Amino acid sequence: MHSHSWRLLATGHLHLDSQLRDLSTAEDDQHEIIRDATLNAFELLIESALDHAVDLLLLTGSLCEKTPTLRACTMFRDGIETALEEGIAVSWTPANLKEVEQLRKINCLPAGLTILSSTGKQHRVRLEADSAHSSKKGATDSPKTRFGTVCCELISGQSPHQSTAQSNAQTTYIGLTHESIGHLPQKDAGDNSVDEKYQLVISGQSQRCRTIRHQNRLYHSPGAIQTLTNEITGPCSATLIEIDSQGEIELTPVPTSIVVREQIELTISREMTLDELLEQAERELLGLLADHSYSPAQILHLSWEVRGPHPQVMQFSSLQLQEFLSPLQPLEDVSILHDVALIPQLTGERIESRDLHEKHLTEQFLQFLGDQNLQNRKKQNEVIIKERASQSLPVNKIMSQLTNNELCNRAAELGLFALQEKLKEAG
């Protein structure tokens, strides 16, 4: 790490004191960890800011999922004041200014916290060698060793564009926005609403960490420091931003999540035994753990999706498999919670097509068409299916295994089978 590099720590949604969901398999002694997970993640954020001796802690998302609790507000105030006392500048671009007012009303808004808002007094924060760094407690670098200036500001479509002369090599501009980073590069190419002076654009919109490079610019969403549901998998983190003497920007994740979610898919083949299924599960789990570091997590929540032919899958129950998988605990410092979902495939075989290569696209496509047929032409489809069954051996075989109530849902699959037969006949 260069002694003259600027260091910023950026984060998205804090979700302070919000409830973690989908953790029904947790033990009694884990409830406290789950209850305090978002608060502990915030404490790790502040500790990381101190450990990395950052110049600016940049908060870009919402404080809480809903109305802030008193516990969340006091934790926020104490953590920010700790960073400020150590000479770390702290700025916040709130998604909702109501949160700022709520903190102010109960005297939990730290005096030194900079609120960046397009409707407020300030929309920019600057880091200069003779101010932020020189005032930091215990700083050993001379202010002169710092490179240029870092300017973080809200992106506004109304703001004038800076010329090349003004945006010189001595200043690194970081744009802040609440828009999704997935749309920003397209807008940049289309109407140039994102100013060209920004080397890095940070979005507080998404709860998922993501980075896009477009032309000479980085678009980054730091995501939430602790996920609340199974929708986001993998360790959550803040982002350490380092700007070296050449103005180069490096992004490094700093793990913060106390509870980590992961998903693993298991496939049951015909004639597979329970022992073979458990061996497959252990291999998949060890492979996952080998590819990821989960520190400082205390709980790993695994969602298993068990897929396979209908008769093979239904011989098990989700609770039974959960009990068999529970002894798999290969991590010493991290408890693993197991949840199992059984997903039977009625035919037990995937439909191969040159146009459907993605892993689950075939199933989704057939389900969608089946639902559409069910809603629009249920009775007519039943007649068509029966006519097809008399002409097609595969269709007749499937129909013999189904009840009348299931026929309409399988209409799309039966039709695709028939179409594939026609293609084979045509060569």
Q: 255, 280, 301 — which closes off a domain?
A: 255
**57 and 200 housed in the same domain:** yes
Domain assignment present for residue 100? The answer is: yes
The strand order across the sheet containing 259-267 reads: 259-267, 299-309, 335-345
Residue 211 β-bridge partners: 220
pLDDT, position 182: 72
**29 and 96 housed in the same domain:** yes
Q: 146 in helix, strand or coil?
A: coil
Domain assignment present for residue 350? The answer is: no
Assigned token pair, 266:
């298991």
Contact (Cβ atoms closer than 8 angstroms) between residue 173 and residue 153: yes
Domain assignment present for residue 29? The answer is: yes
**249 and 267 housed in the same domain:** no
Residue 305 β-bridge partners: 265, 341
**95 and 158 housed in the same domain:** yes
pLDDT, position 189: 47
Domain assignment present for residue 354? The answer is: no
Phi, psi of 364 (to 5 degrees): -65, -40
Q: 201, 229, 255 — which closes off a domain?
A: 255
CATH of the domain at 83: 3.60.21.10
Domain assignment present for residue 39? The answer is: yes
**22 and 150 housed in the same domain:** yes
**233 and 339 housed in the same domain:** no
**83 and 20 housed in the same domain:** yes
Q: How far is residue 373 from each of residues 118, 350, 412, measured CA to CA in Å? A: 49, 21, 8
Domain assignment present for residue 75? The answer is: yes
Q: 292, 319, 345 — which closes off a domain?
A: 345
Counting the structural domains of the chain, the total is 3
Residue 273: which domain range?
259-345
For residue 269, the tally of other CB atoms under 10 A from its CB is 12
**250 and 298 housed in the same domain:** no
**147 and 168 housed in the same domain:** yes
**188 and 93 housed in the same domain:** yes
Domain assignment present for residue 351? The answer is: no
* 273: Cβ contacts below 8 Å, ≥ 6 apart: none
DSSP letters for 14-67? --TTPPP-S-TT--GGGHHHHHTHHHHHHHHHHHHHHHTT-SEEEE-S-S-SSS
Domain assignment present for residue 172? The answer is: yes
Q: What is the pLDDT of residues 307-352, one digit of tens each?
A: 887 777 777 788 888 889 898 888 888 999 999 888 877 654 554 4
**180 and 57 housed in the same domain:** yes
* 337: Cβ contacts below 8 Å, ≥ 6 apart: 23, 25, 26, 30, 299, 300, 301, 302
**13 and 99 housed in the same domain:** yes
CA distance 364 to 407: 17
Positions in the chain whose pLDDT score sits under 70: 1-4, 130-147, 157-169, 183-195, 346-420, 422-427
Q: What is the pLDDT of residues 345-400, one digit of tens each?
A: 765 455 444 444 444 455 555 665 665 555 555 556 566 656 666 666 665 665 66
pLDDT, position 7: 95
